[in-house]
Chains A and B, each alone.
Chain A
């Protein structure tokens, strides 16, 4: 599982971290961000490609050769951006594995209908806080 072609949208804290890790263990990684200065978060171990552009434009996704990707990971700052890119990757480019970060747990229901795999940091953190709070000390 270490020679996959992975496209990551958003080079923020999460996107850059995933890009560094996935690149280090031998995957081909392409990372897209609107702001070139964000690529400074990539470590020297990152050996993939960087694309400066807006991933809600289909030509930017085409230049990342999204059609050949095994996985798309959407970690842009805005939920709507991630939700749109995830759908485009799945339904227009036919990427089989698509994972989007979505902060607002209220969107989950609609995303299930749209058949998009979502990671919701808000819900995940809430779970952990509740578990910790309920733990007998």
Chain B
């Protein structure tokens, strides 16, 4: 797998390290001469100094043989055009743009470019994680259209003591796995739920809050009653 990263900063550096450790071939395109030198020293990636929206620079980076391109510069207009050039001119099948302005994530999708917004991801993580302390892990999948959440059941949970077939969760949600004493159980209707069970929930962003309430109970533990 060959992947081109366009941009700079710590995010790019750690992405590069991450991809390299997985054995991917990484090529970095960065405009700043000094940063390029640093990146060339610190990483095993091939580093090209230049403008990622320049066709010749992309060509030099081997865009024709790349499997994926990620554009994470601080400028949305650059990220969009880099991805469009990569897809339309070089036929790279997987191109992803960072939308610095969260509104642009939708705009880019409408223009045919996959996009993600740090602001959206981080704020939804913080909101959802901070709201309930029983939630130990949450990550969005499917471009943020699906949430996967781990919830630890405590005494307040209305689910405790019930069999799965008697649990009614809001529509479009699912208890995918129950983890008890570190043993995963793929649940069937006759499984019961106990205190300290960790359940893995599949929800959609629009019903996430409702499902969590149904799972954890609505009582605010800080002000019980």
Q: Decide whether A and B assemble into one complex.
A: yes
State whether the Cβ of A88 lies closer than 8 Å to any Cβ in chain B.
yes
Tell me the complex Cα distance, A36–B104, Å: 24
* Known contacts A106-B55, A113-B88, A114-B84; A56/B110 CB under 8 A: no
B76 CB–A CB distance under 8 Å: yes
- Which residue of chain A has its CB nearest to the CB of B52? A80
Q: Are B81 and A80 in contact (CB under 8 A)?
A: yes
* A92 in the interface (beta carbon within 8 A): yes
- Chain B residues, Cβ within 8 Å of A109: 89
> Is the C-beta of B147 less than 8 angstroms from some C-beta in chain A?
no
Chain A interface residue count, Cβ-Cβ cutoff 8 angstroms: 22
B85 at the A interface (CB under 8 A): yes
Q: For the complex, give the distance between the alpha carbons of A44 and B85 in Å.
A: 41
Could you give, for residues 52-88 of chain A, a 1 whenever the CB lies within 8 Å of some chain B CB and a 0 otherwise?
0000111100000000000000000011110111011
Contact A57 B103 (CB under 8 A): yes
Flag whether A135 is at the interface (Cβ < 8 A): no
Per the 8 Å Cβ criterion, residues 97-125 of A in contact with B are 104, 106-107, 109-110, 113-114
Report yes or no: B88 in contact with A110, Cβ–Cβ below 8 A: yes
How close is A59's CB to chain B, nearest CB, in angstroms? 7
Q: What's the tally of chain B residues with a CB closer than 8 Å to chain A?
A: 20
B150 close to chain A: CB less than 8 A: no
B53 touches A80 (CB 8 A): yes
- Which chain A residues lie closer than 8 Å to B81 at the CB level? 79-80, 83-84, 107
Would you give the shortest CB distance from B78 to chain A, in whole angstroms?
5
Q: Is the CB of B107 within 8 A of A92?
A: yes
- With known contacts A83-B81, A87-B111, A58–B103 Cβ distance under 8 A: yes
Chain A residues close to B by CB (< 8 Å)? 56-59, 78-81, 83-85, 87-88, 91-92, 104, 106-107, 109-110, 113-114
User: Known pairs A91-B111, A92-B107. 15 more at Cβ < 8 A?
Assistant: A56-B77, A58-B101, A58-B107, A80-B53, A80-B77, A80-B80, A80-B81, A83-B77, A83-B81, A85-B77, A88-B107, A92-B111, A107-B55, A109-B89, A113-B88
Q: Could you jot down 25 A-B contacts, CB within 8 Å?
A: A56-B76, A56-B77, A56-B104, A57-B101, A57-B104, A58-B103, A58-B104, A78-B77, A79-B53, A80-B78, A80-B80, A80-B81, A83-B80, A83-B81, A84-B76, A84-B77, A84-B81, A85-B77, A87-B80, A88-B111, A104-B54, A106-B55, A107-B85, A110-B85, A110-B88
